[in-house]
Amino acid sequence: MNGVHDMGGMHGLGPIDPEVDEPVFHADWERRVFAMNIASPTRGNIDEGRHQRELIPGPEYLRMSYYEKWFAGVCALLVKHGIVTPEELASGRADPAAPKATPRLGPGDVTAALSHQGSYLREGPRAQFKPGDRVRARNLNPTGHTRLPRYVRGRTGVVERLHGVQVFPDSHAHGGGDDARPLYLVRFTARELWGPDASPRDSVSLDLWEPYLERA
């Protein structure tokens, strides 16, 4: 979908000011929000979680810090899936009459959950492109979740690598199953993206699924 979350290439948002020796968490509540997301029963679909954060209204999205967005997203998903009620969320207390659920993670499961490296690789269709092929990012404007940035749509690049066949987030985020498609690393020159004033030495490489691409 198109929204304020897709900030690549946008002007007027101020300079990037990296924080020297930035801590992993700036406050204890951020640490707890991270843990809540890892332990949440909604954790199984990372694409749905990303889409939920995209649904935050633009002014609120720009106002929120990183972990405030995470917190808003997980709360919305817990209500959406019927795991908590809006009343329970507002009060911070479980309804005594509600059935007791088994926690997704117990204390002994945390280390394994944080150290296990999952994979989105799947069996699927044969790749239509190969390294060296010129491709164009399709000019798509979907109403749902996508990993195709606005600034690259309609631009031409070169396939650098095939990452295999992987879960397609545009379907997965909306309950469409894995719908696995070939995933490519595609390189775009800075001048192709930003115009003749960009440095001829610069480029941007993006991981793009096959449905985003057409032969140039």
Closest CA to 45 of 199, 207, 209, 169: 169
- Asked if residues 30 and 67 have their Cβ atoms less than 8 Å apart, the reply is yes
pLDDT on residue 9: 81
**E-strand spans in the chain?**
134-137, 156-166, 181-189, 203-209, 213-215
pLDDT on residue 16: 84
pTM of the model: 0.92
pLDDT on residue 201: 97
- Which residues are within 8 A (CB) of 61 and not within 5 positions of it... i.e. 6 or more apart? 3, 4, 5, 53, 69
CATH of domain 134-215: 2.30.30.50
Closest CA to 157 of 114, 193, 197, 196: 193
Q: Cα dist. 125→69, 182, 185, 192 in Å? A: 35, 7, 17, 30
pLDDT on residue 101: 81
Distance CA 210, CA 159 (A): 11
pLDDT on residue 188: 98
CATH of domain 28-115: 1.10.472.20
pLDDT on residue 140: 95
Q: Where are the domains positioned within the chain?
A: 28-115, 134-215
pLDDT in tens, 30-83: 999 999 998 999 988 999 999 999 999 999 999 999 999 999 999 999 999 999
Question: Do 28-115 and 134-215 show the same overall fold?
Answer: no
Q: Cα dist. 208→85, 87, 106, 176 in Å? A: 37, 41, 36, 19
Output the tens digit of pLDDT for each of the chain's 216 residues: 899 999 988 888 888 889 999 999 999 999 999 999 989 999 889 999 999 999 999 999 999 999 999 999 999 999 999 999 999 999 999 999 988 888 888 888 888 888 888 899 999 999 999 999 999 999 999 999 999 999 999 999 999 999 999 999 999 999 999 999 999 999 999 999 999 999 999 999 999 999 999 999
By CB atoms closer than 10 A (0-12, 13-18, 19+), residue 19 is: exposed
**DSSP structure string for 30-46:** HHHHHHHHHHSGGGG-H
